Amino acid sequence: MADRIDVKKVKEETGWNVVFGAVYAEDIPEHVKNNFQKTERMHLVEFNLKTELKWLRYISSQSV
């Protein structure tokens, strides 16, 4: 579950239902195909040098 998301409050204030999905965008097609059920792999988040460098490159490319 996403940290700091108050599902009940979102529903009360907006009427929207909250659905938690895959961590990575590349997993979305499989997640949808699997009736919005996550596989074990979809529960994992990688924090390694490769992903951190990709994040840093993205952040540095954004104008402030």
The DSSP result for 16-57, as a single string, is: PPP----SSGGGHHHHHHTTTPPPTGGG----SHHHHHHHHH
pLDDT at 4 (0 to 100)? 83
Instruction: Note down the domain range covering 41.
Output: 7-61
pLDDT at 48 over 90: no
Within 8 A by CB and 6+ apart from 31, the residues are 21, 22, 37, 38, 42
Q: Is 1 among the domain residues?
A: no
pLDDT at 11 over 90: yes
Domains in the chain, number = 1
pLDDT at 29 over 70: yes
Q: Is 2 among the domain residues?
A: no
Q: Is 20 among the domain residues?
A: yes
